[in-house]
Amino acid sequence: MKIKSLIPFALLLTMGMVSITGCQKGDLINNPNVAGSNSIVPLSLLLNHITATLSRSDEQPFGYTAVADQYIVANYSYYRGTNTYNFGNTSDSYDILKYTLKLEQQATAQLGNQTNKYYALGEFFKAYSGIWLSQRVGDIPFSQAGDPTNLTPKYDTQHDVYKAALAQLETANTLIGALVTANPSLANTAIDANQGDIFNLTYQQWQKVINTYRLRILISLSKRATDNTDLQIPQQFAAILGNPTKYPIMTGNGDNLVYRFNAVNRYSTFSLGLNPYNNYANPGSTYINIETATSDPRLFVTSTPAPLQISGGKTFSDFSAYVGSDMNQAQPALLTNSNNGIYSFSNYTRYYVSSTGANAEPFVFIGYSEMCFNIAEGINRGWATGSAATWYNNGINASLALYGLTNGQSLTITFPIASTETSINPKNIKQGDPWGTATVDIPSFLAKVVYAGDNAAGLTQILTQKYISMFNNSGWEAFYNFRRTGIPAFTQGGSGIGTPNNLIPRRWQYPVSEGAYNAANNKAALASQFGGTDDLTKDTWLTK
């Protein structure tokens, strides 16, 4: 999805969208097909690029995040890649930033103010770009980003990046709120009639996205809530919940920021070339073990029973028939076990048949269910008043609704793989053919996940159910929540993890180009944070 730039990382950061026209010599003339720095660029065109590239391919269903989040475990690298956590050098977020800077510049020039809708969205995207990179590596250049006269921008501390981003989100909310207050009919009007916004949200829905995202960022700062009082983390959280008029937040799945697939922008199992290869990956044990322990009916939708369990006589509604793959093991062992029918598979008909994703649940990038769990977590931590149990239950019910589940529903489970092995496919059923049925029992599930109260046990439940709700959704959020809290406990320690210590890294390394083009500032940032080495095993300020 991301348009890869050939401009070095540090230059992207500092150049913004400044056009490179250069000095003309001899008979050379300006390229008439290239807009100059002062040219008018349609605001909808800039917005369209930002919204269309906001979600990257690795953040979408069955991308690398699904592996890193341990929802999916590959058993054959040639077709499905590896499971290793060798993060190495990160990509950057400056495609978003440079287009955002141009959006704000053009919005100011064309509309004559900095109180318009495009400038407001620019503040959100600017915050998003800074958080996206900082949460991966630590300190980054941010406050000097976009200055064409400074090709070696200073690094802002992670603390300062988050402080600035939270202020930008406040500005974004205030600006859109003022527009709606001045003209209430805008609340339910698409924010960009020219379809620059691929999410097709109204003014108020964008305001809800901004505030819901801000709640996500505040929760991500839970380890810094008491030792960085200038950030006012609990206070900001309480202020958003306490003033729904000023800070509207999502009220249901209809407000979700949904990334839509179509015949051109194909569902990720097709765009990533995975659609013929359901055989070569299995749902992970981290994910499946939680659902089998709680009789979670979402398992019937996303996954199939292990073929060996069914050929051995178990029913499709028997949760013990669902077996997750072990991320700790090396792929040759995983492939042998998978070929022998020991593991469950993903729902072939749901995820591998329609190139438009018509059979799959929506891909939620920022959503209501996650917001409910974030609010429940904040109340559990004492940041705000209210009922954590209510928000916890709202999050579960919203997730069940996303899958279209109702009590007593009979779900058809289709055969997930191409296999004629009689021990696991005795009836020689073809891939995608009906295999059996499972019955949805929501009351039994809810009885097993009753909120334990505003205590450590309750917090574990909130974080666990948030993880389940993020299956193949929300990009890297499931991983970031694990890194911050350790819940749920991800599998690690075995050779399959692939790192020198067989443990999951705590961060990414800086882009290689940063050491070449902004060397002095990069070296200083490494010295102040990690003792001078770009160490993946060390925590940044965010998660220490």
How confident is the model over 9-23, as a mean pLDDT? 37
- Confidence bin at 515 (pLDDT 50/70/90): confident
Domains along the chain with CATH numbers? 9-19+42-60+70-249 (1.25.40.390), 268-487 (1.20.120.840)
pLDDT at 8 over 50: no
Tokens of 436: 């059996």
pLDDT for position 36: 62
- Confidence bin at 148 (pLDDT 50/70/90): confident
pLDDT for position 147: 80
pLDDT at 364 over 50: yes
pLDDT for position 30: 54
How confident is the model over 435-453, as a mean pLDDT? 98
pLDDT for position 528: 98
pLDDT for position 151: 86
Q: Kindly report, residue by residue over 91-140, the tens digit of the pLDDT.
A: 999 899 999 999 999 999 999 999 999 999 999 999 999 999 999 999 99
**Gap between the terminal Cα atoms of the chain:** 32
pLDDT for position 146: 77
Q: Using CB atoms within 10 Å of the CB of residue 291, give its burial: 0 to 12 exposed, 13 to 18 middle, 19+ buried.
A: buried
What is the Cα–Cα distance from 45 to 195, expressed in whole angstroms?
9
- Among 142-146, 225-229, 241-245, 468-472, where is mean pLDDT lowest? 142-146
* Percent of the chain clearing pLDDT 90 (strictly above): 87
pLDDT at 13 over 80: no
**Any idea which residue has 């013929």 for tokens?**
276
Q: Kindly report, residue by residue over 36-74, the tens digit of the pLDDT.
A: 667 889 999 999 999 999 989 899 999 999 999 999 999
pTM listed for this prediction: 0.93
Contacts of residue 323, defined as CB under 8 A and 6 or more positions apart, other chains included, come to 285, 288, 306, 309, 342, 343, 344
pLDDT at 6 over 70: no
Average pLDDT taken over every residue of the chain: 92
Which phi and psi angles does 410 have, rounded to 5°? -100, 120
Rounded to the nearest 10°, the torsion over CA 16, 64, 199, 51 is 10
What is the Cα–Cα distance from 293 to 372, expressed in whole angstroms?
23
pLDDT for position 33: 59
CA dihedral over 142, 134, 82, 399, signed as positive or negative: negative
Residue bearing the bigger pLDDT, 342 or 94: 342
CA dihedral over 204, 210, 211, 215, signed as positive or negative: positive
CA atoms within 13 A on the CB side of 521: 19
CA dihedral over 8, 538, 489, 77, signed as positive or negative: positive
